[in-house]
Amino acid sequence: MSKTPTERGQLDLFHALPGEFAPRDAQDLMAYPFFSLAKSRRIRPIEFASGNVEIRVGALPDHGMATIWDADILIWAASQIVEARDAGLRTSRLMAATPYQILTFIGRGTSVRDYHRLKAALDRLQSTTICTSIRQPVEGRRHRFSWINEWQERSDALGRPDGIELIVPDWFYQAVLDDTLILTIDPDYFDLTGGLDRWLYRLVRKHGGRQRAGWRFEFRHLYLKSGSLSPFKRFAFDLREIIRRQPLPGYRLALEIEPQGRRLLAFEPCGQPVNGLVLSGTYGIVPSGTGPSCYREPERDLTSSGSDRNRALNLESNKESNSCSTRHAGENPNLARFRRSETGRKRSTQDLSIDPTGEAKP
């Protein structure tokens, strides 16, 4: 009786490329709440719904939810795949690398402790489950996957450690291969230490790279898009502190307050931030070009734009950014229906002995 071929057996092995090159990030991961912003273990799921976009991120108690620092591994993977494709090399979802290659690319140390932290991050990426409607061809269809399908440590013929292998999900892989869904990011992103700082940079990079006159988001809307567990007042306080510190490479932040009291985060490019939609043929590290003015502390009113007038609404570019159309899970009837469908699916998968964390099949 023939054995069913495993996913690993059906994929070619892609060996990580050496050298330094531009880091790339997937726009879907930059725009929506897919990761925990805290270093402490998060078990509570993220549930997000806005328009036709629905997302549910689940975590296991043993490992907790994948964090925004763990997402650096996916940035490394995306960068490797794009670099290899642009060089005319064959890519694959099955990737092999040494911990040193990954850790140095994402700006981490290379000690034994850092290696153990890398393994813990891989475990969280594998155990975190995602269910989303993003990029589904049929309304109502959901794609279910984990950030890493599986991973293992490699050894050579003598049994000595020889790096790791991992398999990224098809949902992520297909996005990376599409130039319109990938952006270069500033290498200084890896130096950002705060979870909210990192999340905000990715959101700002996703939107601000296309808008010469800047961009604006309501505080409340940002709160809903972040998936943060902090109370809104704490979240707003942390945002104001980020505006005061100006930590985001390539962008200047400002607080704008409308006459009716609505608070908006405004941001615009400064210096020579990484630009454009990527990116094929990009060679070497993309310099940030960020001048000291990007990090200059704003005036006491927290507005660093140098203008006494609020920016015009960017409704033509992003219908969500100027209104709180996104709602908490409990306020959204679409998400309530989404939960019911998930509950029914879990029951059916238990009856059929199907792993509910596996990738959805068409």
Is the per-residue pLDDT at 241 higher than 90? yes
Q: Are residues 173 and 197 in the same domain?
A: no
Q: Is the domain of 307 the same as that of 263?
A: yes
- Which pLDDT band, with edges at 50, 70 and 90, does 215 fall under? confident
Who contacts 236 (Cβ-Cβ below 8 Å, separation ≥6)?
A: 219, 223, 263
Task: Note whether 171 and 216 are same-domain residues.
Answer: no
User: Are 290 and 338 in a shared domain?
Assistant: no
| pLDDT value, residue 133 | 95
Query: Could you tell me if 65 and 59 are in contact, meaning their C-beta atoms sit under 8 angstroms apart?
Result: yes
Tell whether the model's pLDDT for residue 357 goes beyond 50.
no
Residues in the chain: 362
> Same domain, yes or no, for 104 and 249?
no
Task: List the domain range (segments joined by +) for residue 264.
Answer: 190-324
| 100's tokens | 């040193």
292 & 214 share domain: yes
The predicted model scores a pTM of 0.78
Tens of pLDDT along 12-59? 999 999 989 999 999 999 999 999 999 999 999 999 999 899 999 999
133-168 pLDDT tens trace = 999 888 878 999 999 999 999 887 777 788 999 999
**Mean pLDDT over residues 175-201, rounded?**
96
Give the pLDDT of residue 3: 54
Beta bridge partners of 217: 265
- Count of domains for the chain: 2
First vs last C-alpha separation in the chain: 27
Q: Are residues 161 and 16 in the same domain?
A: yes
Q: Assess if residue 6 is contained within a domain.
A: no
Quick check: 263 and 209 in contact, CB under 8 A?
no
Q: Looking at the predicted structure, is the pLDDT value of residue 11 above 70?
A: yes
Give the residue, 306 or 23, on which the prediction is more confident. 23
Cβ-based burial of 222 (10 A; exposed 0-12, middle 13-18, buried ≥19):
buried
Which pLDDT score is estimated for 155? Answer: 81
Q: What is the pLDDT of residue 210?
A: 55
Is 2 part of a structural domain of the chain? no
Say which range, 35-39, 172-176, 235-239, 258-262, has the weakest mean pLDDT: 258-262
pLDDT at position 154: 87
**Helix (H), strand (E), coil (C) string for 40-107:** CCCCCCEEEEECCEEEEEECCCCCCCCECCCHHHHHHHHHHHHHHHHCCCCCCCEEEECHHHHHHHCC
Position 53 in a domain: yes
Residue 217 belongs to some domain of the structure? yes
Bigger pLDDT: 105 vs 271: 105
My answer on whether 91 and 174 are in the same domain is yes
| Nearest-angstrom CA–CA distance, 144 and 130 | 6
Q: Where are the alpha helices (DSSP H) in the chain?
A: 7-10, 27-31, 71-86, 99-105, 112-127, 170-177, 195-208, 219-226, 232-245, 333-352
315 found inside a domain:
yes
Q: In terms of domains, do 51 and 127 share one?
A: yes
Average of per-residue pLDDT across 106-117: 96
Q: Looking at residue 156, what is its pLDDT?
A: 79
Return the bridge partners of 246, or none.
none
pLDDT at residue 273 greater than cutoff 90: no
As beta bridge partners, residue 328 has none
34 in the same domain as 169: yes
Per-residue confidence (pLDDT) for residue 311, from 0 to 100: 53
Tell me, yes or no, whether 112 and 211 share the same domain. no
What mean pLDDT, rounded, does the chain reach? Answer: 80
Task: Tell me if 360 is assigned to some domain.
Answer: no
